[in-house]
Amino acid sequence: MPEFDPELEKALAQLEKDLANLFAPEQPENSPAAPAVDMSVNLAGMTMKNPVVVASGTFGFGREYGEFYDLSELGGICAKGLTLHRREGNPAPRIAETPMGILNSVGLQNPGVDAFIAEELPFLRQYDVKVIANISGNTPEEYGIMCEKLAGAGVDMIEVNISCPNVKAGGLAYGTRPELAAEVTRMAKSHAGAVPVMVKLSPNVTDITEIAKAAEGAGADALSLINTIRGMRIDVNTRRPILKMNTGGLSGPAVLPVAVRMVWEVANAVKLPILGMGGVSSGEDAAQLMLAGAAAVAVGTACFADPFAPLKVRNGLAELAVEQGLSAVSQLTGGVKPW
């Protein structure tokens, strides 16, 4: 048996490390040395070490991207949208590429709230990251049951999805009618105990501030926006829509200006803290949403092209804050100077 040579082992380990570095694409530093700016933000009483959250439905339950980097680098994780019972979602194709965007029609495929609590939450809890559960119900009662289960399981926040464009029952209907949005919000709040409730708004409305005010009036602790914008793409040769469901939800850089506008409108209409999202893929994109009024930002579609996008957004935000001489990134929130 060859003798164990610690020097050789050490040299080999270093060689492996050097090789890995040699081939690694330029990636963000995992632990930026002593950031000159305070990156922490507060979202409805929930303190995150930085303002970057990953958006629900783009990040699963964290396991896949956890193979690429330490999930503790993130401010928060919005888990894949849950329903009371397991759902298989819509038939494929569920995705279509569009100019600087994608359409999706997944249809809330998920293992159900109980399976999340039993199998996924313990995994996420290994990391120093805020866990936000996202829920959709067919009835206000279902929202209540899910909130009770999740509050009992100890998630950090519950994001109430009243705006999924890809399901027939509930979903978008709750997000487009103020009285229904209020009813669902009240039901969630009354079953969530001390866990803050954030209502996710749909952009597929004439006036998003009406829904925002309804959610605020019903006791929501925070708002998140925007969900995807309904869209469609057609193959001109087959004359078939690319998506099997015909229509789907648009996300990606194409929707960023819509998101910035809507965050700005909502920030001017309500006092609630906002998690801004829609097409963020750089620190500058995130800063736009924060200046428009967002306390924190979510990164979603950008992860598909670049798994490291959330970390790059975080680092870009930090650099921008330093360049602008800010002592805390939270100073960006609401800082837009409209004409």
Partner 1 sequence: MKVERNCKIVHRSQTGDAVFMVLEAGDMVRTSYRNPGQFVHIRCGDSLLLRRPISVASCREDYPSDLVTIVFEVRGAGTAWLADRKLGERLDVMGLLGNGFPVKPEGRYLLVGGGIGVPPLWGCAQRTSGRSTAILGFRSKEKALMLDLFREDCAKALIATDDGSMGYHGFVDALVRQELEQDRAYNAVLACGPRPMLRNVAKAVKEFGVPCKVSMEERMGCGVGACLVCACDMKDGTRKHVCKDGPVFDAEEVDWDA
Q: Which residues are catalytic?
A: 164
- Number of residues engaging partner 1 in binding (CB under 8 A): 43
For the chain, the maximum distance between any two Cα atoms, rounded to a whole number of angstroms, is 78
Residue whose CB is less far from partner 1, 93 or 217: 93
Question: Within 173-232, which residues bind partner 1 (CB under 8 A)?
Answer: none
Residues 134-153 that bind partner 1 (CB under 8 A): none
Q: Which of 28, 35, 89, 217 binds partner 1 (CB under 8 A)?
A: 89
User: What's the closest the beta carbon of residue 179 comes to partner 1, in angstroms?
Assistant: 32
Q: Return d(Cα 210, Cα 179) in angstroms, integer.
A: 10
- In the chain, DSSP assigns E strands to 41-43, 46-48, 52-54, 76-78, 95-98, 101-104, 130-135, 157-161, 197-200, 222-225, 229-231, 234-235, 240-241, 248-251, 274-277, 296-299
Considering only the stretches 43-51, 89-97, 152-160, 317-325, report the one whose residues sit in contact with partner 1 under the rule CB under 8 A. 89-97
97 binds partner 1 (CB under 8 A): yes
Q: What is the DSSP letter of 119?
A: I
The Cα–Cα gap between 80 and 57 comes to 4
Nearer to partner 1, 36 or 100 (CB): 100
Kindly report whether the peptide bond that precedes residue 93 is cis, defined as omega within 30 degrees of 0. yes
Q: How far is the CB of 60 from partner 1 (least distance, A)?
A: 4
**What binding mask, one character per residue, do residues 66-85 give for partner 1 by CB under 8 A, x or -?**
-xx-----------x-----
- Which stretch in 54-62, 123-131, 186-194, 205-213 sits in contact with partner 1 by CB under 8 A? 54-62
Give 6 or 25: the residue with its C-beta nearer to partner 1: 25
Site for partner 1 in 224-283 (CB under 8 A): 242, 252-253
Q: Which amino acid is at 37?
A: V
Q: Give min distance, CB of 149 to partner 1, in A.
A: 22
Q: Which part of the chain contacts partner 1 (CB under 8 A), choosing from 62-70, 116-124, 135-143, 204-212?
A: 62-70
- State in angstroms the smallest separation of the CB of 27 from partner 1: 8
Considering the complex, what minimum distance in angstroms separates the CB of residue 33 from partner 1? Answer: 24
- Please, which residue, 211 or 243, has the CB nearer to partner 1? 243
CA atoms within 13 A on the CB side of 50: 28
Exposed e or buried b per residue across 21-45, where buried means at least 16 C-beta atoms within 10 angstroms of its C-beta: eeeeeeebeeeeeebebbbebebbe
> Looking at 90-98, 112-120, 135-143, 327-335, which segment touches partner 1 (CB under 8 A)?
90-98
- Say if residues 122 and 137 touch (Cβ distance below 8 Å): no
Among 56, 90, 176, 202, binds partner 1 (CB under 8 A): 90
Distance CA 4, CA 174 (A): 66
Residue 73 in tokens = 């680098």
Residues contacting 282, CB < 8 A, separation 6+: 312, 313, 316
Contact 283, 32 (CB under 8 A): no
Between 98 and 137, how does the x/- string for binding to partner 1 read (CB under 8 A)?
A: --xxx-x-x--x----------------------------
- Residue by residue, DSSP assigns 170-216 as STHHHHH-HHHHHHHHHHHHHHSTTS-EEEEPPS-SS-HHHHHHHHH
Closest CB 221 distance from partner 1, rounded Å: 27
Could you tell me which of 167, 309, 176 has the C-alpha nearest to residue 249?
Answer: 167
Smallest separation (angstroms) from partner 1 to the CB of 65? 6
Instruction: List contacts with partner 1 (CB under 8 A).
Output: 16, 19-20, 22-25, 57-60, 63-65, 67-68, 80, 88-97, 100-102, 104, 106, 109, 242, 252-253, 301, 303-308
